[in-house]
Copies of this chain bind each other. A is one copy, B any other.
Amino acid sequence: MSTVTRSTDDVRSEGPDGPIRVAQVEIRPQEGLAVVAGRVVSLSVREFELLSALATRSGHVVAREELFSTVWGGPLRRGDRSIDVYVHKLRQKLEAASPGWRFIHTHIGFGYRFAPEPAA
């Protein structure tokens, strides 16, 4: 496993409803879409909310519990794989738009961390 990665603190989150910008990723809340590396990435509601939840805390590990309660509302039931599935969908779309980059990092036992980094 990759043990060490560079931290990305180049976060420039804007106001509540303003666009969130992290590196080559721009999230537009009002339009429900994201622009990655200049390409428009269309997202479903769930995908969008999950990405927002992660990106607003860019560089920090967000617990699965917290992600679930934020995006789905309510406590995370044991065995619920929704988060995993949507993280997977997001990764596909993001990496398709910006090949050679990794955006969502797994921290086993804790949660996920959003941070655009070049693939090893």
Interface residues, chain A, CB within 8 Å of chain B?
1-7, 28, 30-33, 35, 38-42, 44-45, 60-61, 63, 92-93, 96-97, 105, 107-110, 113, 115
Chain B hits for A7, CB < 8 A:
35, 38-40
A105: shortest Cβ distance to chain B, in Å?
8
- Contact check, B107 vs A4: say whether CB atoms are below 8 A apart: no
Query: How many copies of this chain?
Result: 2
Given contact pairs A4-B96, A96-B3, A96-B4, A107 touches B39 in the complex (Cβ within 8 A) = no
- Contact check, B4 vs A38: say whether CB atoms are below 8 A apart: no
Chain B hits for A31, CB < 8 A:
60-61, 107, 110, 113
A46: shortest Cβ distance to chain B, in Å?
9
